[in-house]
Structure 1
Amino acid sequence: MSETFSRDRRMLLGSIAVLLGVSVLPADVLSSVVKTDKHALPAASFTLLEAVSDTFVPATDTPGAVLAGVAEKFDGLLRDWASAQSRQSLIGALEAIDAGAKQAEGKSFAALSPESRKAFLKAHDLAALKPVPRTEKLTGLAAMKALPAVADPDYAKLKELIVSLYYGSEVGLTQELVYEQVPGAWVPSLKITPETRPFASPGLI
């Protein structure tokens, strides 16, 4: 395993650990999460999570979040690793999306069409991620790990965790992105076409 790949994986796990409110995650934690009927989330909430994940990263010419197993990994981390506070905030962010959809559209988020989900979540995202002044003063490592101050930090954590799990998956790294375990020759200029894929790199997460 290359040094770059190991560093990328440590960065991913470190980012996820912060979002889950834990100090460290085992190196094989993501690969050990498998599909199971014993979900941490109730059935309706799991369906909501799949709908939200699919809206963030839909299937296009490459598989999206659903086929990458993001919901199963998210649920497994909630069940086995998240602190009680993080579990509550992440589930609360999901429930806020559903409540907003019911108020605005008269239906649960999962019951909306893909187009309506996208339109609703775009507006919700803009309001939730609106920058706000930071109320607490952070220093040192806490300042380095802190997410930007936004109107709804719980939603920001939810979105980052879903996206991190997708781009840390085999599908995300090998089909949505181009991963080179050993970097090739230096190419000073690359022609960009509609088929060009971004490269996975230490700056991804």
Structure 2
Amino acid sequence: MERRELLKMIAVLTGGAMIGGHAILTGCNVKSGKNQDHLFTDQEIEFLNEVSETILPETNTPGAKAANVGGFMAVMVNDCYEFRDQKAFKEGIKALDTACEKMHKTSFMKASTAQRLALLMSLDKEAKLYQSKKGDMEEAERKKDKDFPGLPNHYFLMMKQLTMLGYFTSEVGCTQALRYLAVPGKYEGSVPYKKGDKAWA
């Protein structure tokens, strides 16, 4: 699967353009001016692995944690996101944990699988609502200040998109979740498809 096609699929599945998509396609050379190395701690990467595992859990194939998607997120946010999105993403880790405490009276790391799933479904709705209003909010701000740089994207949308990108471009995702052919053979224009077949890597 080509990277461009994967980004399009993620945009469709998450209801919004792939954040940082241009940077990802052009080699992740974002000049934010405030890009920091080592933006995430080991504990934050472990937290992101648990979030990603809730989004793409282990079934008959390994889940997102097996592909260390949390580590992938940290690299992508640091290298491919504008500063305002980096900041929103980093602050989103605390916001997600606070939301879990508010909803379930426990931290995300101590929450059950069902509690985690309920929380992330709620955050998904919140993110979609925020993203749908973001353009109007930015336009209103630019009427006051023509140099207004724009609002950050919702942290959960970024987490969800990076989970899918990280997993389906990992070795685990490509070889176990998708159908994988290490060395392509001859071209076949019409391949039989049975309902439930995996997509090609």
1:132 and 2:132 matched: yes
**Cα displacement (A) at 1:88:** 0.7
Matches of 1:23 and 1:81 in 2, distance apart? Answer: 6
Q: Give the direction of change, closer, same or farther, for the CA distance of 1:64–1:82 in structure 2 (3 Å limit).
A: same
Q: Is contact 2:19-2:158 (8 Å) kept?
A: yes
Aligned 1:1-205 pairs, distance under 5 A: 8-9=2-3, 19-20=19-20, 23=23, 40-130=39-129, 132-133=132-133, 134-135=135-136, 153-180=154-181, 181=184, 183-184=187-188, 186-187=190-191, 189-193=192-196, 196-200=197-201
State the SS of the aligned residue for 2:64: coil
**Cα displacement (A) at 1:20:** 4.3
| Structure number with higher helix proportion | 2
Matches of 2:193 and 2:80 in 1, distance apart? Answer: 42
Matches of 1:190 and 1:19 in 2, distance apart? Answer: 32
Deviations along 1:138-180, one digit per CA (max 9) or x if unpaired, are xxxxxxxxxxxxxx63321221112111111121122111245
Q: Give the direction of change, closer, same or farther, for the CA distance of 1:174–1:21 in structure 2 (3 Å limit).
A: closer
Percentage identity across paired residues of the two chains: 27
Q: Is contact 1:93-1:158 (8 Å) kept?
A: no
**Cα displacement (A) at 1:23:** 3.7
Q: Which TM-score applies when normalising by structure 2?
A: 0.67
Q: CA RMSD in A?
A: 3.4
Query: Counterpart of 2:188 in structure 1: which amino acid?
Result: G
**Cα displacement (A) at 1:12:** 5.5
State the SS of the aligned residue for 1:44: helix
State the SS of the aligned residue for 1:197: coil
**Cα displacement (A) at 1:112:** 0.6
Matches of 1:12 and 1:190 in 2, distance apart? Answer: 20
Q: Is contact 2:4-2:25 (8 Å) kept?
A: no
Matches of 1:170 and 1:28 in 2, distance apart? Answer: 20
Query: Counterpart of 1:165 in structure 2: which amino acid?
Result: G
Deviations along 1:52-94, one digit per CA (max 9) or x if unpaired, are 0110111111111111121112122334554422211211233
State the SS of the aligned residue for 1:19: coil
